Amino acid sequence: MSTRFLGLIATTAVAALAVSGCAAQTRARLSAAEAPAPSPSSSAAASPDAASPAPASPSGKAPKDKKGAPKDGTDLEACRDADCEVEVADGQTIPLDPKYGLDGIDVRTEGPRVIFTAQGHDSKMVTSMDASWTGSSSSSTINGLTFRPHMTKDGKVIVKITHT
């Protein structure tokens, strides 16, 4: 056998091992993200503060002192100015001011996967991101608007929208 042929086989074997290692790591992350959340009764027993839930805000915005809560709660209207951080759910549309050239952002969720569809006069974007990858700084940009999703420990999807 020629040296070139042996080098090709060795390179192919190394590449196959690297790909299978990445696939295993991705499966492990997805499995961890899909793990069931602890029941309220077990978390109440573990934490004395869990018995007194934080009061709900009448404006629909989350209290700012709650760690991990989006600054705009579930108020999608806060995104009209393209500067917000909101909790999103499957089937929702995030409204935007027409000056950004988009008709809004349609949101689909499939477990940790978030799919954004944005359409405007001269552009269309469909992007899919895994919100469970913490620290990955996943983002997508269209018309100067950047979308950064992440998932809370209890499985809620939060998206931060900024503009340049």
Q: What is the pLDDT of residues 25-58, one digit of tens each?
A: 444 444 444 444 444 444 444 444 444 344 444 4
136: amino acid identity, one letter:
S
pLDDT digits (tens, 9 = 90+) for 13-23: 555 544 445 44
pTM of the model: 0.57
Residues 66-93 as b or e (16 or more Cβ within 10 Å = b)? eeebbebbebbebbbebebbbbbeeebe
Domain boundaries, the chain: 1-35, 72-163
What SS3 class is residue 152?
coil
On average, the pLDDT of the chain sits at: 72
| Confidence bin at 105 (pLDDT 50/70/90) | very high
The string of DSSP letters for 81-103 reads TS-EEEEE-TT-EE---GGGSEE
pLDDT band at 70 (very low <50, low <70, confident <90, very high): confident
